[in-house]
Chains A and B, each alone.
Chain A
Amino acid sequence: MSESDASKAEPTLVERWLQDQQQWQRTLFTYLDSMMKNDEFLMHMGNAMRGSLLAGKPYPTTPPPAAASADDAATADRLEKVLYALHQLQGQMQDVLMTLDEIRAGAKATRLKPDSTKKPARRARAAAGARKTGNRRPRS
């Protein structure tokens, strides 16, 4: 390989600087493009600027203190207590429903089970009746 070929293959420092600048432009445009087209990109960039790659939601930050009046705060407090009490009731209701389901399932199981034992029981009753009356069913 001649010296001129080698110099063609290896770009000079100035050429590399120029290439790098072009790459920087490309990088910049890619970012701008994503900012314009992708709604979530800015949020994800914001997370990255907080040092996090958290996806899908903003990095947790402390919300500013609410400027609600004392009356509003008291009302909200009462409402939340009521709401929590409702959640507790919901839990108790679910317990009741589960118990009912269990009773229903148990009843179904007992209804199903005797099918196999019914005949012998009837036979036993019939046999007992026959013993009392002296009427015996003929054996088939």
Chain B
Amino acid sequence: MTDPGVERELEAMLARSEQTRARLDRLHDVLTSGGHYGTGATPAAVVHQENKLRLLRLLDESGQPRTGPPVLFVPAPVSRYFIVDLLPDRSFAGHVARAGFDVFIIDFGTPGGEDRFADLEYYVDGLLRRSVRKVSAITGQTSINIVGYCLGGTLSLLYAAMYPSTVSRLVLLTTMIDGDTRGGIAWVAHQMGLAGESYENPRLVPAAEIKSWFEMLAPGSNSLIGRVNDLWERLDEPVDRLRDVRTMATWVDDVVAAPGRLLAELYQQFGPGRNRLMAGTATVGSRSIDCAEVTMPVLSVSAAKDLIAPADGVDAIRSLVPHAEVMRLPGGHVGIVAGRTALALWQRTVEFLMRNVK
């Protein structure tokens, strides 16, 4: 007869072995099943192209463009556009389209070496302005709704201040206004040397470097061991849940390189200690930005657990655009837009866009 102590130990070893194998089996299942390969979930047509930018127009089930008031989604240029159109059952843009809007999404694409010279003016008064113009031309509307996410929100706000008559409603999602708020991506980038980025002689900031700033924000993800441990623990979850994790990882980890001149300018204007948006001294090219020009209805949404754009820095829009509706939702930077609880944001956005629509 076996010693009970030895038997217990053997049982425990066997349980560990079974758990490890089960995790590896689940990992294999996830890695060999279709993942999210960087495209939006809703069928769309490319209606405008410029440099790497593509302007997408969502199509309905029969492959036809929708009618209804136009809404332009402006994601951040340093990440992939499909966060607003992640999965068929988890698509912010798809939800807005089904609510009766003609939805357009900007895909800024992946910058090439020459795009390191692209500055704020090129993005706001070039790419974004022409995209709005195209949407207006297609839909016949002189003013359109704009939904900007993260840095895309910053670009949208600057644009709305420059061309207010072309924007009927503005939604800003997790868009940092007060650059002096501690924490967040601007602070981390500041700590990691963004101040040294040259405007005159810019480089294409590699995706891995931008990724490292984001990793600094998420505890456990800033080291290889931490990330591997985190994934290993998660492999106890069901395969369906892991597929969701993979979809999100495909967005979170698929950071794109960024134009050094744009980052240098963003830092010099809006970074910690500069804060020119709050001071009212921001510029785009040679034009001064006056947020008093932002007279259209504005909705600003912050996420209570946002590590990238801290909620206090986002809600500071109250002092810049006093008539803005300010809303704080539970969740994180990505979760409120594409997580399991994102429906709350989508519905509030649709309500806001539908108000006073004739």
A interface, CB within 8 angstroms of B: 13, 16-17, 20, 23-24, 27, 30-31, 34, 38, 41, 44-45, 47-57, 59-63, 76, 79-81, 83-84, 87-88, 90-91, 94-95, 98, 101-102, 105
Contacts and interface: CB of A to CB of B under 8 A. Distances in A.
B227 A50 contact: yes
Interface stretch (B98-106, B127-135, B290-298): B127-135
Given A55-B36, A102-B137, A84 B115 contact: yes
A55 B226 CA distance: 20
B254 A57 contact: yes
B130 A98 contact: yes
Given A20-B14, A88-B122, 4 more contacts: A13-B2, A51-B226, A81-B114, A95-B130
Given A51-B231, A60-B208, A81-B117, A44 B31 contact: yes
Which of A23, A38, A48, A81 has the most B CB atoms < 10 Å from its CB? A48
Contact of B228 (A45, A51, A79): A51
Given A30-B28, A48-B27, A94-B130, A62 B206 contact: yes
Given A13-B7, A44-B31, A84-B115, A53 B242 contact: yes
B253 A60 contact: yes
Interface stretch (B144-152, B244-252, B310-318): B244-252
Contacts of A60: 206-208, 211, 253-255
Interface of B: 2, 7, 10-11, 14, 17-18, 21, 24-25, 27-28, 30-32, 35-38, 50-51, 112-118, 122, 126-127, 130, 133-134, 137, 206-209, 211, 221, 224, 226-231, 242, 245-246, 249-250, 253-255
Contacts of B31: 34, 41, 44-45, 48, 53
Which of A16, A17, A63, A91 has the most B CB atoms < 10 Å from its CB? A91
A51 B130 contact: no
